[in-house]
Amino acid sequence: MSLLAVGSVAFDDLETPAGVREHLLGGSASYFSLSASRFNPVQVVAVVGEDFGAAEEAVFAGRPIDLSGLVRQSGLSFHWKGCYGQDMNEAKTLETHLNVFADFHPDLPQAFRKAPYLFLGNIDPRLQREVLDQMEARPRWVALDTMNFWIEGSLKPLLDVLKDVDILLINETESRLLTGERNLVKAGERIRILGPRIVVIKRGEHGALLLTEEGAYACPAMPLREVIDPTGAGDTFAGGFLGHLAAKGDLEFNTLKQAMVMGTLMASFTVGQFGVEGLQFLQDGQMAERLQSFSSMIHVDGL
């Protein structure tokens, strides 16, 4: 059953210690759908401009990704320019041009309104609410991502939509900003009071933390010899995490732990290449090999 994802499709100009690249396909919906579609069919709702052409559409071709919710408008697509220094955990934004995304109001195709699983990507919480209000029935679960910009500037509508969310994905800085708690376990407990019963705190190179009523699970990141471009790693993680949950069809604690591993696995491929290239050219054999290596790393005999 399909996983509906609402977010952005964009173009990025990037500078990292590994080099400079321009006009790379990016955006939360791009990274998310390319990752999640490895596990489960995905429906995408986003907006693009006239600069999104056949070459960009081909990136999604041959995968269980339904782009019938991708709106095409005159003008240019969302464009972001950023750079990374030696600290690859944080990007410095140089330019942001919303372009057609500035007036984006998601209008779900009729067939999308019955999706059993929903991911509200990192967009204005008012738009996230608009999407929820268009669903014909409440999905089996709703997951949401947000960022410090919305926490600081749109806290009231964010708190409103969180009441109707089952899963929140957020990074550690944002979790502290939202709750005022420095300790991440306490931050997760505070967030769960706001509505989400499952909280995933993304910690970059330090992995991710799962917090639920059943318990906590800390998943390390995959150790890599080289990180090329961390852009989109969080959205890729969300795709692997939620794609696995949709494929399994339950939110049991062990399934959630498996999903944490799958999200980590997918993110490790994204950061090893520029843009979405690590996902675009990923082969099944590479996934199987890395999963085996990661599973061996986190397994301990004799305890």
Tell me if 260 sits within 8 A of 241, measured CB to CB: yes
The pTM for the full model equals 0.96
Asked if residue 77 is part of any domain, the answer here is yes
Give, to the nearest 10 degrees, the angle between helix 233-248 and helix 28-36.
40
- pLDDT of res. 236: 98
Tell whether the model's pLDDT for residue 290 goes beyond 90.
yes
Q: Which amino acid is at 106?
A: P
Q: DSSP code of 220?
A: P
What single string gives the DSSP state of each residue in 59-98?
Answer: HHTTSSEEEEEEEE-SS--EEEEEE--S-TT-PEEEEEE-
Residue 301 in any domain: the answer is no
Query: Domain for residue 7, yes or no?
Result: yes
Residue 171's pLDDT band, with cuts at 50, 70 and 90, is very high
25-58: pLDDT as tens digits = 999 999 999 999 999 999 999 999 999 999 999 9
Token couple for 117: 């699983």
Residue 302 is assigned to a structural domain of this protein = no
Mean pLDDT of the chain: 96
Is 176 within a domain?
A: yes
Tell whether 299 is covered by a domain.
no
Q: What sign does the CA torsion over 155, 157, 159, 161 have?
A: negative
Give the residue numbers spanning the domain of 287: 3-293
pLDDT beyond 90 at 87 = no
What total of structural domains would you count in the chain? 1
What's the CATH code of the domain at 82? 3.40.1190.20
Q: Cα(196)–Cα(217) distance, rounded to whole angstroms?
A: 17
Quote the pLDDT of residue 86.
Answer: 84
Beta sheet of 42-48, edge-to-edge order: 65-72, 42-48, 3-6, 117-120, 141-145, 167-171, 198-202, 208-211, 216-219
Residue 300: inside a domain, yes or no?
A: no
